[in-house]
């Protein structure tokens, strides 16, 4: 929940991604139109499963399409933690987005307690299989983002080996591109992104500064 329309326009006027890097911008709802004006590929941070109806405060896939938005994140760890998102509702959101021709970045990941108790594989399997039952996994607009919840906004980061292990496990369940999200910074981006099973990054706090975000994009080459 950063950057209103004016800040978004200023950010994107300054931002110049390196050649050969696919970049998606995911601002808050109020800044989507401003981001679309820039010509960059824009995704929303969430999307509802219904096309319309009595869902005050929600935004539908057709509404996003009308703005020129190309896709949406679903199931982000903060949505799960603070707003009671479940595997089932995330899957419904992903399905609705696909049905309306939108791309999807579907987030999965385990908590620190789950990792330390040896349940990482089980948690990821349940989350990924819920998505697999609801979406067309072969759709080129569908990707998964692995977010170790213990590394979101904490400054902690999975080691490259931990990221590789989790990404390889996910790809063994569903053959789709997998992004890493969890305190990605310019200092660690190159090492994380060099892992064979890591196909890109879902960047959070480090994307708020133009220089920082540009450096991460450059590392992805």
- 167 in active site: no
pLDDT surpasses 80 at 50: yes
Contact by Cβ (8 Å): 183, 154: yes
| Strands 103-108, 142-146: pairing kind | parallel
Query: Is the confidence at residue 111, as pLDDT, over 80?
Result: yes
Per residue in 137-187, pLDDT tens? 888 899 999 999 887 766 677 899 999 999 999 999 999 999 999 889 999
- Based on the residue annotation, tell me whether 147 is a catalytic residue of this protein: yes
Residue 143's DSSP bridge partners are: 105
Name the CATH superfamily housing domain 45-219.
Answer: Aldolase class I (3.20.20.70)
Tokens of 108: 């999965």
Kindly name the residue from 85, 110, 114, 147 that is annotated as catalytic: 147
- The tens digit of pLDDT for each residue in 189-207 reads 999 999 999 999 999 999 9
**Nearest 10 degrees: Cα torsion 25, 27, 32, 35:** -50
Look at strands 71-74 and 41-44 and give their pairing.
Answer: parallel
pLDDT over threshold 80, residue 42: yes
**SS3 of residue 129 by DSSP:** helix
Domain spans in the chain, listed from the N-terminal domain onward: 45-219
State residue 153's pLDDT score. Answer: 66
Q: What is the pLDDT of residue 155?
A: 67
- The active-site residue, picked from 76, 85, 110, 114, is 76
> Three-class SS of residue 107?
strand
Mean pLDDT (the chain) is: 95
Q: What is the pTM of this model?
A: 0.95
Interval 99-104 mean pLDDT: 97
Classify residue 83 as exposed, middle or buried by CB count within 10 Å of its CB (0-12, 13-18, 19+): exposed
């Amino acid at each position: 929940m950063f950057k209103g329309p004016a800040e978004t326009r200023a950010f994107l006027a300054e931002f110049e991604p390196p050649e050969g890097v696919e970049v998606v911008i995911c601002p808050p709802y109020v800044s989507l139109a401003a981001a679309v004006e820039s010509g960059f590929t824009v995704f929303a941070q969430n999307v509802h499963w219904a096309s319309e109806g009595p869902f005050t405060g929600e935004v539908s896939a057709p509404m996003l399409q009308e703005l020129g938005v190309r896709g949406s994140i679903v199931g982000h760890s903060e949505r799960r933690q603070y707003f009671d998102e479940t595997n089932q509702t995330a899957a419904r959101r992903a399905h609705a987005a696909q049905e309306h021709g939108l791309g999807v970045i579907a987030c999965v990941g385990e908590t620190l307690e789950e990792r330390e108790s040896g349940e990482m594989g089980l948690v990821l399997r349940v989350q990924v299989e819920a998505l697999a039952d609801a979406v067309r996994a072969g759709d080129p607009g569908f990707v998964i983002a692995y977010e170790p919840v213990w590394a979101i906004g904490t400054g902690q980061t999975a080691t490259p080996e931990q990221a590789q292990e989790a990404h390889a496990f996910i790809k063994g369940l569903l053959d789709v591109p997998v992004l890493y999200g969890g305190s990605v910074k310019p200092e660690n981006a190159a090492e994380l992104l060099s892992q064979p099973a890591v196909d890109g990054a879902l960047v959070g706090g480090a994307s708020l500064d133009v220089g920082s975000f540009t450096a991460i994009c450059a590392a992805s080459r």
